[in-house]
């Protein structure tokens, strides 16, 4: 009896040992599989995230949670108490205000690109086949604030897109070096081969984009659309949402293009000289080629690859470009006019019914000071909660709720010195939405 009991105990112990060993082996295999799939250092740039565990793992490693005690979800949902509390606390605790990183600091941190991308939380993976098959080209015209450039690039970066950066020739040498150092850390980011000295309201602002457009056409990336940006822009949509919006255009461009008011005609009727600023002369210009009707719009556009190619190939487009080089603020007229030119890919007819305001276009959301006010009494939007600069709102925290209800792909203008909370909350919102596709 005793021997039988001892044999039973030994058999039971052996069974437990085998079961425990099997469980341990299976756990080891599972954990090894999970760790391999979720290893951020080993993941392929075009790879998928497998499963909810890995998605959560990546999000926890790459989330861009806003600093301080503010609740971005409440701010975005329109909680004015949270907006007031955020700004009130920020004003009281001056020592906690964000310090903008310097060019020199970025030159140092980019010496190790792998560490830079990890430290600054760039997403090096693509979450969907649809996005991988729909690359977008970006022209990025910048002149200062390396921290803002880093954050803008991070917000729109994916491995399948292509990014050309134009740096103003007048910018500080350290800024040039810092931009090049960041660009060198990515296979699909580069500085334009030709740089311009950009003067406000001059031709060189257009030429900066044209230089990038020419470089982007020569790249080996088969991008579908081009979006141009500047250093004061920030996206309102994730890359997946931008892809969906571009697909919905079905080959059309999207930009502001309207019949201009009479007072603006002097801007293209007279020759202008470019010095430290643009000066109108008394010399009258010849009419535009073929007496083309001039339309007005914005510097910011969403255009097809075909449209961009036509700028360098179609004789009428090249003639109009040459004619526009001495007008005031040509970026406000050239793109809008080309958008209504018959034969330009993705363009619209000249009839007034096809006029498109900046509010209806996808390209850029802008709050003009002259259109702010009481919306119940006809104003287009409520007052800027940041600061108006050159009649344009530099967005504040209180603008976020309104902003994220709009359909635009990008908004202009942002400045971390004016209100960094707005940018931080956008970063947090977009990063969460990138991984989970819904609001916080």
Q: Active-site residues: which are they?
A: 332
Cα–chain-centroid distance for residue 385? 22
| Strand blocks (E) in 33-167 | 136-142, 162-167
The three-class DSSP label of residue 9 is: helix
The CA dihedral of 107, 108, 111, 113, to the nearest 10 degrees, is -80
Answer whether 114's CB lies under 8 Å from 120's CB: no
Give dist(CA 166, CA 181) in Å, integer: 14
Residue 202: is it exposed, middle or buried by C-beta count within 10 angstroms (0-12/13-18/19+)? buried
The CA dihedral of 298, 140, 199, 334, to the nearest 10 degrees, is -30
Within 8 A by CB and 6+ apart from 260, the residues are 294, 295, 296, 333
Answer whether 152's CB lies under 8 Å from 223's CB: no
* 231: DSSP letter: T
- Helix 203-218 and helix 305-313: axis angle, to 10°? 110
Answer whether 229's CB lies under 8 Å from 152's CB: yes
Q: How many CB atoms within 10 Å of residue 12? A: 10
Cα–chain-centroid distance for residue 424? 14
Answer whether 258's CB lies under 8 Å from 297's CB: yes
Residue 189 has which token pair? Answer: 């980011």
Q: Do β-strands 225-230 and 136-142 pair in parallel, antiparallel, or remain unpaired?
A: parallel
Sign of the four-CA dihedral 354, 357, 358, 360: negative
Tell me which residue of 55, 63, 62 sits closest to 34, measured CA to CA: 55
Sign of the four-CA dihedral 96, 98, 104, 109: positive
């Amino acid at each position: 009896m005793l021997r039988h009991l001892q044999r039973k105990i030994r058999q039971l112990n052996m069974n437990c040992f085998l079961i425990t060993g099997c469980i341990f082996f299976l756990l080891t295999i599972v954990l090894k599989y999970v760790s391999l799939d979720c290893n951020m250092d080993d993941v392929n740039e075009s790879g998928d995230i497998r499963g909810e565990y890995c998605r959560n793992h990546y999000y926890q490693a790459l989330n861009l949670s806003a600093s301080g005690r503010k609740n971005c979800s409440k701010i975005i949902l329109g909680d004015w108490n949270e907006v007031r509390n955020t700004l009130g606390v920020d004003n009281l605790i001056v020592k906690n205000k964000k310090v903008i990183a310097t060019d020199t600091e970025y030159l140092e941190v980019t010496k190790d690109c792998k560490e830079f991308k990890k430290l600054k939380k760039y997403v090096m993976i693509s979450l969907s086949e649809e996005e991988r098959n729909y690359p977008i080209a970006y022209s990025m015209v910048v002149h200062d604030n390396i921290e803002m450039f880093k954050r803008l690039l991070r917000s729109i970066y994916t491995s399948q897109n292509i990014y050309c950066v134009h740096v103003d020739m007048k910018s500080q040498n350290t800024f040039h070096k810092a931009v090049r150092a960041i660009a060198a850390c990515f296979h699909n980011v580069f500085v334009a081969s030709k740089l311009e000295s950009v003067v406000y309201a001059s031709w060189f602002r257009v030429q900066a984009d044209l230089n990038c457009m020419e470089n982007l056409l020569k790249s080996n990336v088969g991008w579908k659309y081009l979006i141009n940006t500047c250093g004061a822009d920030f996206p309102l949509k994730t890359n997946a949402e931008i892809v969906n919006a571009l697909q919905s255009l079905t080959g059309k461009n999207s930009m502001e293009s309207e019949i201009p008011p009479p007072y603006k005609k002097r801007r293209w009727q007279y020759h202008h000289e470019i010095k430290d600023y643009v000066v109108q002369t008394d010399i009258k210009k010849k009419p535009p080629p073929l007496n083309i009707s001039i339309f007005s719009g914005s510097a910011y556009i969403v255009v097809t690859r075909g449209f961009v190619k036509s700028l360098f190939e179609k004789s009428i487009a090249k003639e109009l470009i040459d004619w526009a080089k001495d007008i005031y603020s040509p970026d406000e007229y050239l793109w809008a006019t080309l958008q209504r030119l018959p034969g330009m890919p993705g363009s619209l007819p000249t009839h007034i019914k096809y006029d498109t305001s900046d509010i209806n276009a996808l390209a850029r959301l802008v709050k003009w000071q002259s259109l702010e006010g009481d919306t119940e009494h006809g104003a287009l939007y409520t007052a800027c909660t940041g600061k108006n600069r050159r009649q344009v709102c530099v967005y504040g925290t209180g603008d976020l709720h309104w902003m994220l209800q709009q359909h635009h792909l990008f908004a202009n203008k942002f400045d971390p010195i004016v209100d960094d909370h707005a940018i931080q909350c956008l970063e947090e919102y977009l990063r969460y939405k990138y991984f989970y596709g819904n609001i916080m």
